[in-house]
């Protein structure tokens, strides 16, 4: 698979990222041996299909996703040296660490450092290639974040840093305080979720050379063969007009509509990296076809207009 630089870092990553959000379920209570084997097969399929960039977060299945991935790293000889591993922190569930604690976001230096060290233990590695802050803490102190980043970098525990789901203004504030560049910004963007094109997020990525990563690039599967479980925020997406516009282009190109939806994202000059989250081996492999497709400007705008639900002004 093609590779590109990740922001201004020295890292070269695959044009698609494999996302480990749902590989082992949503909660440890759901896990079965069959799910564990499915997760293992999905990770190995992605690796063998050319994905060298893998995305995690400490809250994915309460840390079990990182643990499963760490087991695969031990199993597959040479894999750690060939892949780039990213993870995220900053979301704390209700009851963490005691039952009376509310759900919250936490960018305190102590939590960033402790979360990173816990992720490293679960993954079974010494250094995280990329650490991202997961959801924008309203009490975020950019100077405190900068201290945590410096501590982790100087200790050899994290190589590069990024953010996820940030307002452009908070991203700018954090970057101004940090002595290291933010190399990536992970956001929800797809044909069903266009905000990043109009709220300044992608403009900021272009200006600062942060590489955008698109989580849920197929709207939780709604732009592909269908969604098994979507977020509440995704339940009112207007999918039918998008599919109606996708299908003729997909048919003409001889690929599935999901491939075209991914190619639409990669057309943007900020070099968006879609985060593919399917656990189905055939779909993991199929997504790689998007890397080879260059949509025309006319095709891109035809899809954009269908997705926006209104003609261009």
Which residues are catalytic, by number? Answer: 60
- Cα 262 to Cα 126: distance, rounded to the nearest angstrom: 33
Q: Which residue has 């970057």 as its token pair?
A: 175
Kindly write down the DSSP assignment for every residue of 27-44, as one continuous string.
SGGG--HHHHHHHHHHHH
Buried b (16+ CB within 10 A) or exposed e, 172-182: bbbbeebebeb
- Cα 10 to Cα 198: distance, rounded to the nearest angstrom: 29
Q: Which is it for the CA torsion 220, 16, 67, 62, positive or negative?
A: negative
Q: Which residue has 């403009």 as its token pair?
A: 203
Closest CA to 223 of 201, 249, 200, 253: 249
The pair of structure tokens assigned to 137 is 């803490």
Distances (CA, A) of 174 to 144, 151, 218, 309: 9, 16, 29, 35
- Cα 9 to Cα 161: distance, rounded to the nearest angstrom: 9
């Amino acid at each position: 698979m093609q590779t590109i630089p990740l922001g201004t870092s020295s890292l070269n990553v695959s044009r698609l990222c494999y996302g480990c959000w749902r590989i082992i379920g949503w909660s440890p209570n759901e896990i079965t041996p069959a799910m564990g084997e499915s997760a293992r097969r999905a990770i190995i399929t992605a690796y063998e299909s050319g994905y060298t960039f893998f995305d995690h977060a400490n809250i994915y299945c309460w840390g079990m996703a990182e643990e499963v991935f760490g087991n695969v790293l031990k199993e597959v000889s040479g894999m750690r040296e060939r892949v780039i591993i990213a993870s995220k922190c900053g979301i704390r569930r209700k009851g963490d660490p005691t039952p009376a604690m509310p759900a919250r976001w936490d960018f305190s230096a102590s939590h960033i450092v402790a979360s990173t060290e816990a992720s490293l233990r679960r993954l079974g590695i010494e250094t995280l290639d990329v650490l991202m802050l997961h959801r924008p803490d309203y009490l975020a102190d950019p100077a405190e974040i900068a201290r945590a980043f410096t501590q982790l970098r100087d200790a050899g525990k994290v190589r590069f840093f990024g953010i996820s789901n940030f307002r452009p203004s908070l991203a700018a504030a954090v970057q101004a305080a940090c002595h290291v560049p933010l190399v990536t910004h992970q956001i929800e963007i797809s044909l069903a979720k266009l905000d990043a094109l109009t709220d300044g997020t992608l403009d900021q990525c272009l200006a600062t050379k942060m590489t955008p990563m698109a989580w849920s690039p197929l709207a939780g599967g709604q732009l592909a063969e269908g969604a098994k479980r979507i977020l509440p925020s995704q339940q009112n997406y207007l999918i039918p007009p998008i599919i109606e516009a996708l299908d003729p282009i997909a048919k003409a190109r001889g690929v599935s509509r999901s491939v075209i939806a991914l190619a639409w994202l990669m057309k943007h000059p900020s070099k968006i990296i879609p985060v593919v989250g399917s656990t189905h081996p055939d779909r993991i492999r199929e997504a790689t076809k998007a890397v080879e497709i260059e949509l025309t400007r006319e095709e891109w705008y035809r899809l954009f207009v269908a997705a926006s639900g209104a003609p261009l002004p």
